[in-house]
Amino acid sequence: MTKGNFPVEKLKGIETPFYYYDTDLLKKTLKIVKEETKKYGFIQHYAIKANANRRILELIATEGFGADCVSGNEVNAAITAGFPASKIVFAGVGKTDKEINMALDLNIFCFNVESMPELAVINELAAKKGKTAQIALRINPDVDAHTHEYITTGLNENKFGLSMAHLDNVIDVLKLLKNVNLIGLHFHIGSQIEDINIFEPLCKRVNELQDLFEKREVKIEHINVGGGLGIDYDAPDSHPVSDFQGYFELFHKNLKVRDGQIVHFELGRAIVAQCGALVTKTTYVKQGESKTFVIVDAGMTDLIRPALYQAYHKVENISSNLPMKKYDVVGPICESSDVFVKDYELNETQRGDMLVLRSAGAYGEIMASQYNCRELPKPYFSDKI
Ligand SMILES: *Cc1c(COP(=O)(O)O)cnc(C)c1O
């Protein structure tokens, strides 16, 4: 029996819970992103934090994409998987001296700088090495991403980025620093942005800020507009690939790109989310007072998004074709928030039935923890099982 895209018989033999990746869908997605970016000469850096699984990184690196990293270990993971240092950008509000030194030694493409003190430290550490670090300023564009408050990053008072009010001062300081070279402006307004029109105000803001830098006679070679394109968690089968065409076209139409300027993107979720599923087995079906609980062997330790951001993942019973019944699907972890879905229709479920949590390729496996002394879920790939 196969249900949807899941080879149920093959999966049955694997110890649950585990992540299952559809490599064909990943490759198809990468091909589309490559075609759409090529149209406009855009450069895409995959945001490693969405999924740093070694094989996934290798598949993405093979296609020639760059990497967007937010820690020193992510920079290492990118290099190990085959991303060239010349295509690595490094963001993050709390880069340590150790991380900065490592990235300087590797000669990464660009540091996305998030504060004045960080700028001073990068300058100082680069000077000690007799180097000049290429930097972009991460600017808070004060654009509302209309997404969950925990994944919105572009509003003015936020731990990320430099506020626009400080830019004149930043430019003054930059002129005095000898070991940093400003090559770009960087923005990232948030994640899981489903309405692409939300990126329009970002483009407008980028255009205005370009004028400001031009007035101050500062040349900007690179514009990095970050990531954040959302995916369809409700209907992964009808929308396995996000609207990359509309997304890149919107930036092409709305950004006033200067001569010779290159536009960069840092998509994470939209690249990897739909290719992954968390596969779990039903341990017990428990009758409550008015509800029925399906207790599965995966929990918030394997996929924390529902507990952390009230996120929804479509759940399917791939072992059953019985009529639909309503359940709460919960994990075994000793936390009340360890709930995947409530009052949810599944094919009638029995002990041992295999369930899949869809669209779990981004911010899934990478966020797994060992709370309750649990084992980390292992990854399996459709072309290798
Ligand atoms: C998380 C992050 C991204 C990727 O965001 P997605 O929503 O997964 O596309 C891009 N850039 C930066 C700086 C980030 O922190």
User: Residue 253: how many CB atoms within 10 A of its CB?
Assistant: 10
- My answer on whether 290 and 152 are in the same domain is no
Number of domains in the chain: 2
pLDDT at 1 over 60: no
* Residue 15 DSSP class: P
ω into 332 cis (within 30 of 0): no
If phi > 0 it is left, if psi is from -120 to 50 it is alpha, else beta; for residue 247 that is alpha
Q: Are residues 169 and 57 in the same domain?
A: yes
Mean pLDDT of 48-54: 98
Give the closest residue to 356 by CA, choosing from 74, 2, 6, 1: 6
How far lies 360's CA from each of 135, 211, 236, 371, in Å?
33, 41, 10, 19
Q: Tabulate helix, strand, coil % of the chain (nearest 5).
A: 35, 25, 40
Dist. CA 218–CA 254, nearest whole Å: 22
Report whether residue 66 contacts ligand 1, using a CB cutoff of 6 Å: no
Going by their DSSP bridges, the two strands 180-186 and 378-381 should be labelled as unpaired
Looking up tokens 């007072």 gives: 289
Please state whether beta strands 18-21 and 276-287 pair in parallel, antiparallel, or not at all (unpaired): antiparallel
Distance 213 CA to ligand 1 centre (A): 25
* DSSP assignments along 275-287, one per residue: GEEEEEEEEEEEE
CA of 188 to the centre of ligand 1 (A): 7
Q: Give the pLDDT score at 159.
A: 84
Q: Which atom of ligand 1 is least distant from the CA of 186?
A: 13
The CA 88 to ligand 1 mean position distance, Å, reads 14
* Residues forming a β-bridge with 195: none
* pLDDT over 70, % of the chain: 97
Helix (H, G, I), strand (E, B) or coil at 297: coil
264 Cβ closer than 6 Å to some ligand 1 atom: no
The ligand 1 atom at the shortest distance from the C-alpha of residue 362 is: 8
CA quadruple 160, 138, 304, 15: dihedral, nearest 10: -150
Residue type, 225: V
The answer to whether 89 touches 67, Cβ cutoff 8 Å, is: yes
**What digits encode the pLDDT tens for the residues 19-38?**
999 999 999 999 999 999 99
User: Of 244, 273, 302, at which residue does a domain stop?
Assistant: 273
Same domain, 132 and 219: yes
* CATH number for 330: 2.40.37.10
Same domain, residue pair 58 and 167: yes
Residue 169 pLDDT level (bands cut at 50, 70, 90): very high
User: Which residue has its alpha carbon closest to ligand 1 atom 11?
Assistant: 226
Give residue 370's domain range: 2-18+274-381
Q: Give yes or no for residue 228 CB within 6 A of ligand 1.
A: yes
| Domain end position, chosen among 273, 294, 320 | 273
Is the Cβ atom of 49 under 6 angstroms away from ligand 1? yes
Given a contact cutoff of 8 angstroms between Cβ atoms, the answer to whether 335 and 307 are in contact is yes
Residues 150 and 252 in one domain: yes
Per-residue pLDDT reduced to its tens digit, 54-67 = 999 999 999 999 99
pLDDT (0 to 100) of residue 92: 96
Using a 6 Å cutoff on CB, does residue 360 contact ligand 1? no
Check which CATH number belongs to the domain holding 119 and give it: 3.20.20.10
Indicate whether residue 91 lines ligand 1 (CB < 6 A): yes
Ligand 1 atom closest to 230 (CA): 7
For residues 294 and 346, the answer to whether their CB atoms sit within 8 Å is: yes
What is the longest distance spanned by two Cα atoms in the chain? Answer: 71
pLDDT digits (tens, 9 = 90+) for 226-239: 999 999 999 999 99
In this predicted structure, the answer to whether residue 4 has a pLDDT above a threshold of 80 is no
d(CA 326, ligand 1 centre) in Å: 35
Identify the H or E element spanning 47.
Answer: strand 43-47
The tokens describing 290, both together, are 């008015």
What are the tens digits of pLDDT across the range 170-202? 999 999 999 999 999 999 999 999 999 999 999
What region does 82 belong to: left with phi over 0, alpha with psi -120 to 50, or beta? left
Angstrom distance (rounded) from CA 242 to CA 79: 27
At residue 151, does pLDDT exceed 70? no
User: What distance lies between CA 66 and its chain's CA centroid?
Assistant: 14
**Is the Cβ–Cβ distance between 184 and 221 less than 8 Å?**
yes
Residues 81, 211 within the same domain: yes
Average pLDDT value for residue range 203-222? 96
Is 176 in the same domain as 308?
no
Distance 319 CA to ligand 1 centre (A): 35
Index of the ligand 1 atom closest to the CA of residue 228: 7
> CA end-to-end span of the chain, whole Å?
16
Cα(266) to centroid(ligand 1), Å: 6
Q: Do 266 and 180 fall into the same domain? A: yes
The residue-averaged pLDDT of 120-149 equals: 92
CA distance 44 to 262: 11
Task: Report pLDDT digits (tens) over 295-319.
Answer: 999 999 999 999 999 999 999 999 9
Atom of ligand 1 nearest to the CA of 270: 9
Domain identity same for 209 and 82: yes
Q: What is the C-alpha separation between 53 and 58, in angstroms, rounded? A: 9
The yes-or-no verdict on residue 140 having pLDDT over 70 is yes
> How far apart are the CA of 105 and the centre of ligand 1, in A?
24
Same domain? For 196 and 267 the reply is yes
CA contacts within 13 A on the Cβ side of 229: 25
| 280 and 333 inside one domain | yes
Residues 96-103, mean pLDDT to the nearest whole number: 98
Q: Which of 223, 257, 273 is the last residue of a domain?
A: 273
Dist. CA 167 → ligand 1 center (Å): 23
- Do residues 279 and 150 both lie within one domain? no
